[in-house]
Amino acid sequence: MTFENLGLAPSLVRKIAEQGMSEPTPIQAKAIPLALKGRDVLGIAQTGTGKTAAFGLPLLHKLFKTKGKKEPKAVGGLILAPTRELVAQISDSLAVYSHGTHLRVTTVVGGASISAQMKRLNRGTNLLVATPGRLIDLIERKAVRLDLTRYLVLDEADQMLDMGFIQALRRIAPLLPKDRQTMLFSATMPKLMTELSGAYLSDPVRIEITPPGKPADKVTQSVHFTEKAGKTKLLVQHLGEHPADLSLVFTRTNHGADRLTKALAREGFAAAAIHGNKSQGQRQRTIKAFKSSELKILVATDVAARGLDIPGVRQVYNYDLPNVPENYVHRIGRTARAGRDGYAVAYCAPEELADLKAIQKTIGREIPAQNEVPWARSVSESRAKPDTSKPPRPKRHTRRKPCRNARRAA
């Protein structure tokens, strides 16, 4: 199977080839032909499986055919994503394929000048990539029209629901034509997602690459039972064993992310944090430094890391277990990208046992424990035999010397 076989425009196929992409991923191979036929699509696939191209390429293919002057404030296609980072990521990805064409791709997110965004939208745009909150702001200012929007995409839809965007979606959707084409992509399928798809999709084709709530196959998972006060020491030990790897560390709170980043800096690690209290500029600079390997460790909250596509991440550490089980799937989906192996390590304190059980129920398997403690016996007694399909990764006993001038990105 090649992209040429999928029915995409020759100009798009050439641009795809220029990016070194020769064969479509499973989600792309299944979604693109259906989208080109005008079908509504419900795509269930993990982050890093090529979802952006799965909806973006057929969307661009159709928009290429639209000629003539754009109506003021009108939008041809609308892509909604939960975070600023994901909006920028989608826009950058699609810009590669639309460069040199008549298509105009516009992004609108919070934390940026709304007056500048209103000015850009005044000319109309072929494709708008937006966060729901900022789009609502623009709608209230009558700065954008959706009555001519023929295509709607909801990316990371389950995360939008987790973040409380359901009311925003209920306000936005009725403003679009009823005969639009809608595509909804998600990594998990909670109950509210079923209701959402029923409300916004018309006779959709469901494409399921990885069963909802199931981690990527190439992620080796483990859990360490530890008192809360011992988590930082354990994390320092594990980070020191893999100093060359890009590591993503998750905390529950903004304050916790900052506190942990400072603790890692005191141990000589080049680490930085991203979370909702950081400015858009700070977050972008930190992510850029992490992607370029200037930073080896990124500490993040679930909200800030949603949809991040950083192929080089090898280790994911759940410093705090998420209280929403589906978020665990999203977290560990940040590793094992593009066919690579990845490692997901969880630290479970006594007060998090209920969270661990909920996670294991969601993913449909027990996470192999690396130690035994009396207070975790309720989990270990019910634990299935460890998954031996992948051998444990050998440790690299590399001691890391403290560095007073560890890089800290804002």
Residue 361 belongs to a domain with what CATH number?
3.40.50.300
What is the residue-wise DSSP string for 333-398? TTSSGGG--EEEEEEE-GGGHHHHHHHHHHHTSPPPBS---GGGHHHHTTPPPP--SSPPPPP---
Q: What is the pLDDT of residue 409?
A: 36
Is residue 172 in some structural domain? yes
* pLDDT over 50 (residue 386): no
Q: What is the pLDDT of residue 58?
A: 97
Q: What is the pLDDT of residue 282?
A: 87
Tally of CB atoms within 10 A around 162: 22
* pLDDT over 90 (residue 164): no
Query: Which range among 4-8, 72-76, 218-222, 401-405 shows the weakest confidence by mean pLDDT?
Result: 401-405
Is residue 400 in some structural domain? no
Q: What is the pLDDT of residue 384?
A: 42
In the chain, how many domains are there? 2
Is 226 in the same domain as 346? Answer: yes
Strands 271-274 and 41-44 come out as unpaired
Is residue 401 in some structural domain? no
Is 144 in the same domain as 11? Answer: yes
Is 77 in the same domain as 134? Answer: yes
Is residue 390 in some structural domain? no
Is 270 in the same domain as 131? Answer: no
Residue of 345, 391, 340, 371 whose CA lies nearest to 242: 345
Is residue 182 in some structural domain? yes
Q: What is the pLDDT of residue 410?
A: 35
Q: What is the pLDDT of residue 343?
A: 94
Instruction: Among 188, 208, 228, identify where a domain stops.
Output: 208
pTM over 0.85: no
**CA 306 from centroid of its chain's CA atoms:** 4
Question: What is the distance between the alpha carbons of residues 8 and 97, in angstroms, rounded to a whole number?
Answer: 12
Q: How far apart are the first and last CA of the chain?
A: 44
Is 239 in the same domain as 151? Answer: no
* pLDDT over 80 (residue 92): yes
Is 239 in the same domain as 363? Answer: yes
Type of residue numbered 223: V
Residue 336, burial from CB neighbour count under 10 angstroms (0-12, 13-18, 19+):
buried
Query: Which range among 78-87, 336-345, 365-374 shows the weakest confidence by mean pLDDT?
Result: 336-345
Question: What is the distance between the alpha carbons of residues 120 and 315, in angstroms, rounded to a whole number?
Answer: 40
Q: What is the pLDDT of residue 307?
A: 65
Q: What is the pLDDT of residue 404?
A: 38
* pLDDT over 90 (residue 154): yes
Is residue 397 in some structural domain? no
User: Per-residue pLDDT tens for 259-302?
Assistant: 999 999 999 999 999 998 888 788 889 988 998 999 999 999 98
Cβ atoms of 303 and 277 closer than 8 Å = no
Percent of the chain with pLDDT over 70: 89
Is residue 396 in some structural domain? no
| Mean pLDDT over each residue of the chain, to the nearest integer | 86
Instruction: Among 183, 208, 233, identify where a domain stops.
Output: 208
Is residue 88 in some structural domain? yes
Cβ atoms of 30 and 160 closer than 8 Å = no
Is 201 in the same domain as 249? Answer: no
pLDDT band, very low/low/confident/very high, at 111 (cuts 50, 70, 90): confident
Q: What is the pLDDT of residue 338?
A: 57
Q: What is the pLDDT of residue 240?
A: 95
User: Per-residue pLDDT tens for 22-61?
Assistant: 899 899 999 999 999 999 999 988 777 789 999 999 999 9
Query: Which range among 182-186, 213-217, 330-334 shows the weakest confidence by mean pLDDT?
Result: 213-217
Cβ atoms of 87 and 129 closer than 8 Å = yes
Q: Name the more confident of 346 and 336.
A: 346
Structure token pair of residue 329: 């799937």
Q: What is the pLDDT of residue 46?
A: 75
Is 202 in the same domain as 226? Answer: no
What Cα–Cα distance (Å) separates residue 20 from each residue in 15, 23, 56?
A: 9, 9, 17
Q: What is the pLDDT of residue 247?
A: 96
Is 187 in the same domain as 330? Answer: no
pLDDT band, very low/low/confident/very high, at 215 (cuts 50, 70, 90): low
Is 192 in the same domain as 281? Answer: no
Across 369-393, average pLDDT: 63
Cβ atoms of 106 and 131 closer than 8 Å = no
Is 231 in the same domain as 204? Answer: no
Is 241 in the same domain as 144? Answer: no
Structure token pair of residue 282: 């700070």
Q: Which domain holds residue 183?
A: 4-208
